Amino acid sequence: MKSVLVAALLFSSTIMACAQRGRWADANDATAKPLIELERRWAETTCDHNDVAKTMLAEDFQGTSAKGKRFDKREEVADTTDARRVARTDCKLGETRVRFFGDNVALIYGAESFRKPDGSGQKQVWTDTWMKRDGKWQVVASQDTIVP
């Protein structure tokens, strides 16, 4: 009995250690591809004011802007869907990499660029933390940084 318990503990420890190391998704990963598509749509919101943030952000989402301001889902949805806001142009998702930690957590590292109304360009890099809850992937945290 004691050897069965030891074997079970070793097995579960090995599984947990592998999940903590994470794995990088390849270009054809069936889970990563739709997450990257949602990231692309979110990157385009400042150009087209789409409402993707309503579904991709968790209710308890917390973000940190490139200027250090904290914001929640309500603020992000209001900001990105406000058609009165002057739209930017040429919004593009750049390089994006997905790293999974187990079956329910993913970090997505990415970059995006756009043109401001004055014609100047801006590039940002960011990290988004995704969690799978009740079978649905959603962003729970986000951090943006402006690239000088």
**pLDDT tens sequence across 71-111:** 999 999 999 998 888 879 999 999 999 999 999 999 999 99
Q: Give the residue numbers spanning the domain of 66.
A: 23-147
Q: What CATH number did the domain enclosing 133 receive?
A: 3.10.450.50
Q: Tell me if residue 88 falls in helix, strand or coil.
A: coil
Quote the Cα angle for 147-137-26, to 5°.
65
What φ, ψ does residue 33 adopt, rounded to 5°?
-55, -50
**What pTM, to 2 d.p., does this model score?**
0.84
Distance CA 47, CA 71 (A): 20
Q: Into how many domains does the chain fold?
A: 1
Burial of 105 (0-12, 13-18, 19+ CB in 10 A): middle
> Is 42 inside a domain boundary?
yes
Residue 51 lies in a domain: yes
In a domain, 3, yes or no: no
Residue 8 lies in a domain: no
Instruction: Tell me if 15 is assigned to some domain.
Output: no
Three-state DSSP state, 137: strand
